[in-house]
Amino acid sequence: MRHLKKVKKLNKVKGHRDLMLKNLAASIIQYEEVETTEAKAKAVSSFVDKIISIGKPGDLNARRRLYETLPTKIAANKVLEVLNDRYKDRTSGFTSIVHIGVRKGDNSRMVKIRLIN
């Protein structure tokens, strides 16, 4: 039974899953809108919320934690410079998921995950 198991495995091993979520989170932060499957979007939504919350203080410790978490410095700098000002009054819920249909090849549900303005 999967009682009290919070990690969505996405049919991937831990290393691949972690890197995939980090890259997807960096893309969401950098481009502010990404088209992906519903399962991946639900898994990465809380990860993006945590990343933006880490960057809220804007101090050196936040910058170092973002550099070690995100694969690109562009995304980390955007969290510290742009998204900090945008979400200064907001405590959580930085992403929204919009359903756009199904993928033609394997009929999986596709969504757009985007940052709230």
pLDDT at 2 over 90: no
Distance CA 58, CA 112 (A): 28
34: helix, strand or coil: strand
Could you tell me which residues come within 8 angstroms of residue 108 by beta carbon, excluding any fewer than 6 positions away? 37, 38, 102
pLDDT at 27 over 90: yes
60: helix, strand or coil: helix
Query: For 48-74, how does the pLDDT look when each residue is reduced to its tens digit (9 = 90+)?
Result: 999 999 999 999 999 999 999 999 999
Burial of 15 by CB count in 10 Å (0-12 exposed, 13-18 middle, 19+ buried)? exposed
Quote helix, strand, coil % in the chain, to nearest 5: 50, 15, 30
| Domains along the chain with CATH numbers | 14-115 (3.90.1030.10)
pLDDT at 7 over 90: no
Q: Supply the pTM of this predicted model.
A: 0.92
Query: For 71-88, how does the pLDDT look when each residue is reduced to its tens digit (9 = 90+)?
Result: 999 999 999 999 999 999
Q: Quickly count: other Cβ atoms within 10 Å of residue 85's Cβ.
A: 9
Average pLDDT, the chain: 96
Which pLDDT does position 79 carry in this prediction?
97
